[in-house]
Each structure stands twice: as C-alpha cells, then as structure tokens.
Amino acid sequence: MIPDEIRKKNRRLLIALIIFALSLTALIIILMILRGPTKTY
C-alpha cells in the first residue's frame, strides 16, 4: 500500500517543476524581447 504522503510529496515536486519551467520560459522570452529581432532568414 502506497502512503498518501508519497503522492503529496510528488505533487509538491511537480509544482516546483512547473514554477521552474515557467521561470526559465519567462527569462528566455524577456531576454529575447530585450535583445530585439535578429533573425536573418
């Protein structure tokens, strides 16, 4: 029997993963906006 505690810990880790993904996505987009268009193709 798997204790509910494990599932709760896993949920917290998933939320941390989402926050990390959001932060890095935002950082990349902000850096691209600050840099401006550079595409040459």
Which amino acid makes up residue 21?
Answer: A
Q: How many CB atoms lie within 10 A of CB 17?
A: 10
* Token pair for 14: 């998933």
Question: Residue 31 interacts with another protein (CB under 8 A)?
Answer: yes
Question: Residue 30 interacts with another protein (CB under 8 A)?
Answer: no
Among 6, 23, 36, 37, binds another protein (CB under 8 A): 6
N-term to C-term CA, the chain? 57
Measured CA to CA, the distance from residue 41 to residue 35 in angstroms comes to 17
CB of 36 to another protein, least distance (A): 11
Residues that bind another protein in the complex, under the rule CB under 8 A: 2, 6-7, 9-11, 13-14, 17-18, 21-22, 24-25, 28-29, 31-32, 35, 38-41
